[in-house]
Amino acid sequence: MASSQEKITVYNLADLKNTSDDAIPNYLNSLKFRQSHRLTDVRLALGYTAFLLAGACFLWDYKFGFDATKWYTAAAVALYSAINGALTLWIFYVERGTVYVGAAPSGETLRIMSETPRKTVPEYQLTVKIEGRKGGKKETLVVTRSFTDWFDAVGHFVAPPFQSMLASAVPVIGKHDPKRVAPTEEIASVYTPEMLDALSKASVGAVSSAAETASGAESTPGKKVGKRRKA
């Protein structure tokens, strides 16, 4: 499993983004958020339908030859393009980089979309849409942070600063994990690069998952993080 000692290449923006994306559901689900997989499931359904259709087309073509099945093949090609087009539209206009949809224990639903807005700058941009209970007020937050805030120099993902970034920036998350809310808005100043390295070393022995690390290490970063924490 993704131990926090798994290294990624810090120059690879996709790696930085994917690792961070994967950490979000881990973290939120550990806070008892209920994740909804509807968007992913629709995408999978569309994709596999298209794939099965192509498979069927291959089989009848192989078995009965081209001339006998021409019209079925023409229909299959048209249907396949339609499904694939729908899939593309779904990914670009509905999912739009969504990495998490879920409901907080307190009832709010939130949807987190991530992107790396500029190709050459290691920046992580989260758009968080929050909806209150029973169609209450909607709210959209945009958070942009540098990946260097939670990746150390060699490419270890360090969970505490990442989680505290989320908890501080998104009140709904902060409410369920008050320990992670940073006292000020400036998270970068809370974790210096030295502290990141120390945290990353500290979690070697104690931790199994990238997301569920370490409590109380903020004030004494050198201290070995003793207990594993689920909540």
Q: Which residues bind to another protein, rule: CB under 8 A? A: 1-2, 6, 14-15, 18, 22, 37, 40-41, 43-44, 47-48, 50-51, 53-55, 57-58, 61, 65-67, 70, 73-74, 76-77, 80-81, 84
Nearest approach, Cβ of residue 189 and another protein (Å): 31
Q: Note the residue count of the chain.
A: 231
The span from the CA of 161 to the CA of 176, in Å, is 16
Nearest distance from C-beta of residue 184 to another protein, angstroms: 34
What token pair was written down for 229?
């924490």
Q: What are φ and ψ of residue 193, in 5° steps?
A: -55, -35
Contact 104, 36 (CB under 8 A): no
Phi, psi of 34 (to 5 degrees): -100, 110
The smaller minimum CB distance to another protein, of residues 76 and 198, is found at 76
- Give the nearest distance from C-beta 66 to another protein in angstroms: 3
CB of 53 to another protein, least distance (A): 8
- Tally Cβ neighbours within 10 Å of residue 105: 12
> What angle separates helix 66-89 from helix 38-64, to the nearest 10 degrees?
170
Residue among 65 and 205 whose Cβ is closer to another protein? 65
If the CB atoms of residues 44 and 121 are measured against another protein, the closer one turns out to be: 44
Name which of 82 and 121 has its Cβ closer to another protein: 82
Give the C-alpha separation, 167 to 3, whole Å.
Answer: 22
Rounded to an integer, what distance in angstroms lies between the CA atom of residue 103 and that of residue 168?
Answer: 18
Q: How far is the CB of 67 from another protein (least distance, A)?
A: 7
Q: Give me the least distance between CB of 12 and another protein, in Å please.
A: 10
Q: How are strands ordered across the β-sheet holding 98-103? A: 34-35, 98-103, 109-115, 123-131, 138-146
